[in-house]
Every structure is written in structure tokens, then in C-alpha cells.
Amino acid sequence: MTEQLHDPDYRGFASDNYAGVHPEILAALAGANGGHQVAYGEDAYTERLQQVFAEQFGEGVQAFPVFNGTGANVVGLQSMLPRWGAVVCASTAHIHTDENGAPERVAGIKLLTVDTPDGKLTPELIDRQAWGWGDEHRAQPLVVSITQTTELGTRYTQDEVRAISEHAHSKGMKLHMDGARLANAAATLDQPLRAFTRDAGVDVLSFGGTKNGLLFGEAIVVLNPEASEGLTYLRKLDMQLASKMRFASAQLIALLSDDLWLRSARHANAMATRLRSALERGIDDGSISGLSFSQVTQANAVFAVLPPGVADRLRERFRFYDWDAARGEVRWMCSWDTTEGDIDAFVAAITEELAA
């Protein structure tokens, strides 16, 4: 048996990627093990996965399991564009800030970015980059990509997504959604997954799993078959085709069964709400000073601004990331396994460091 090299009781607030694997997911992996199944997706689990996604998003959708979110975004977008196509996205979008140039270098996609105050695009903001069709000197803006929830912890409503999709489609553009934290959005909106995706006009979706309790695995979900082509070949070409795909599919089946995706997301969101509420009470009663919030808390992320030096002292006990170090802005993420005790201990540490 492998020696345990970490403290299983330690919790941080840097990323929901830090959390371990949900026990129900581990059980699903064990259940999918044993015997032989045909490789590269011709297995019973990947076949069943298609039915599971149809139950969530409606008949006619097709799911392509991949290893990770970068793969889902890059391969999904690549299937939506010709070589001369470009993607309009927020300047804070994960595909722009955290994919190490993969959309450009792997897929050959030009990203046309737009600054936003809250990470969310609008039809008006899209129009800042949606122009120049027919100009051979400009990469053609043919896809809009939005993130749900955004990198700033905000979420799009169904009406906001629909307004974007109708605007994009009216210009001959397609709509892609990066759904790395799609479950957290559904939990805060209290709506089914398809309500603010397929029903709102999203064409291709990156469905997140790793941040919500999976060991690995995401899925490209084609909601509009006319908006995507070549995924069967692109997934292999871009090194995202798993030979033992049954283990990725089994995890996604378990996540989407018995509302595990929703239970886990609701819990993570509730812990973020508990964190913010406790800090707001401290501000109101005067026990906390020098802390302010830089974004609304609509899912499992809390963005705050701290006085100089406080973040570094806090990080000696709890890991988290600076968002904008120049202004003291930090991001605190909660996960499916964050406990109330974790939140209370973190609030106590923040209060102590601010007092110091």
C-alpha cells in the first residue's frame, strides 16, 4: 500500500482543483474496473454516457470525453472554426489567461478579447470585436466564447445567455460555453443544466468534472450538430483521446447520476456564502476592518481586497492565490469537500491577521 504523504485534514482555498476525488466517483471507478472493454470509446460506459447527457440536455446531443478542461476548450473550439476563424471572449477568460497559449498554438485560433468589469460579455461588448467580416487582413470573428461561471465568480442568467446567443447567431457567429464550473452556475440559478445552455442557444459546451469531484475528465458536448465538425478526428489529433475511456465515462455517469453534480456544487456554493457572510458580519460589528469585496459572490468563489502583507501571512496557514497582487485582490475558492469547520477556522485566521 502506498504511504500517505499528505495531511488529509488540510484544507486550502486556492482552487476547487485542490480537492480530492468524491467517494461516489471512486466507487464508480472501482465498479468500472475488471475484465476487458473495447478501447477508445467503444465500451459500455461511453455508450451509456451518451444516454446520460441526453437526459440532461435533450435528445440529439453528443458527448466526447476528454482528459481536461484545456482539451475540452481547445478541441471544442477548433471543431467550430475554419483556419481563418477567431473567437471573441472576455479578457479574463480562462482560454485567454490560463491555457498557456494552447488555443493559439495547438488549434491556431486567434482570440479577440474584450475587457469587462465582471467577467461577463454582453451583446454590446461583443460588438467591440465582432466586425471586419470579409476583410482578408483580419481574423474572422466566428465564435463567441463565454464562461459559466466566469473567472470572477459571476454567473450568466438564462436571459443573458439567450441575448448573447441571439446576437451572435444574427451575425452568423456560433456560441461556445466554457462550463468548467457549470454545476455551480446551475446550483445558484436553481435551473436544470439545459435551461441556460441548449435552451438558451449555446452550440458547443465544455462540461466540467474535475472541479466538482472527478479524478480527471471533462466532456465536449455538442448541443447543435450543425455548429461542430470533425471532433472524432480532432480529439485524437490533439491528444485528448483516452484509450481506457471507460474510466472517464464512468466518472461522468456517476457525477450526473442521483444529482451528485448538483449536491456537490450546492455545497461548495454554500461554503462560499458562509465565508462571505461571516466576513460581512465582522465588518458590520467592527471586528474586521481593512477588508473589502471586489466582486459579488454568486457561486463558490469569493474575491476580496486585503491590506498589504495580510495575504502573505495568511498563506502561511491556508493556501490561496492573488488575483491582482498590485491592489491586494485575492481569490478564495470553496470545494465539494470544504466543511463549515474549515470556513470558521479561515474566518478566524483572517480576523486575526487583519487585527495584527
**pLDDT per residue as tens digits for the range 185-244:** 999 999 999 999 999 999 999 999 999 999 999 999 999 999 999 999 999 999 999 999
As a whole number of angstroms, the distance between CA 176 and CA 174 comes to 7
Contact by Cβ (8 Å): 289, 84? no
What Å distances lie between residue 145 and 93, 206, 230, 299, CA to CA? 8, 10, 19, 20
Q: What are 11-49's pLDDT values in tens digits?
A: 899 999 999 999 999 999 999 999 999 999 999 999 999
What pLDDT does 1 receive? Answer: 76
**Helix and strand tally (H, E) in the chain?**
13, 11
In this structure, what C-alpha cell is assigned to residue 40?
477508445
Contact by Cβ (8 Å): 87, 223? no
In this structure, what C-alpha cell is assigned to residue 318?
491556508
What pLDDT does 162 receive? Answer: 98
What pLDDT does 191 receive? Answer: 97
Long-range contacts of 192-199 (CB under 8 A, 24+ apart): 192/56, 193/56, 193/57, 194/56, 194/57, 194/58, 195/158, 196/148, 196/156, 196/157, 196/158, 196/161, 197/57, 197/148, 197/161, 197/223, 198/57, 198/58, 198/61, 198/223, 198/224, 199/158
What pLDDT does 298 receive? Answer: 98
Contact by Cβ (8 Å): 262, 186? yes
Residue whose C-alpha is closest to residue 340's, from 260, 275, 296: 275
Residue with cell 447567431: 169
pTM of the model as a whole: 0.97
Q: Does domain 261-355 have CATH number 2.60.450.10?
A: no
Q: Give the Cβ contact number of residue 7 at 10 Å.
A: 7
Handedness of CA 238, 232, 214, 264 (dihedral sign): positive
Give every residue of the chain whose pLDDT is below 50, as ranges: none
Q: Does domain 22-258 have CATH number 3.40.50.300?
A: no
Write out the residue limits of the CATH 3.90.1150.10 domain(s) in the chain. Answer: 261-355
Burial per residue of 29-43, b for 16 or more beta-carbon CB atoms within 10 angstroms, e otherwise: beebeeeebeeebeb
